[in-house]
Amino acid sequence: MAAAQDRMLEAQSRIQAEADRIAQEQYEMEQYYETEALKHAEEMRVHLEEVRRHEEFMRAHERKLRDHEASMEAFAKVIAMPAKPGRPRQISFMAPSRMPERGNGDAGAAAAAGGISG
């Protein structure tokens, strides 16, 4: 009878050890999944913050582009305006080779010859 009782106690001990092992594994799995969920939540928070900053940057960039386009259009209108009413605007992209001289017609020739006639 003692041998049967010993076998029964041994079986109960094995059953309890197995139940403890299963409970420990379940606890470890719960801890693992909770940790993973917290990591994921933090990664999502960081990602959403990066998306928000990127969208803010893009809005600022688009605003700068619109301002630049508006400035270009305004500048183009100013360039295309006639200098005086009734006279068309002549645009030159090259600087003149020399400035025209004021005064009589042969003053430029006298200056080129090295002297000023008077």
- Quick check: helix, strand or coil at residue 94? coil
pLDDT digits (tens, 9 = 90+) for 75-102: 888 888 776 666 666 666 666 666 556 5
pLDDT digits (tens, 9 = 90+) for 10-44: 999 999 999 999 999 999 999 999 999 999 999 99
pTM of the model: 0.48
> Alpha-carbon distance 46 to 40, whole Å?
10
Q: If pLDDT is split at 50, 70 and 90, which confidence band does 118 have?
A: very low
> Alpha-carbon distance 62 to 109, whole Å?
57
H-only helix segments in 81-106: none
Residue found by looking up tokens 């508006």 in the block? 70
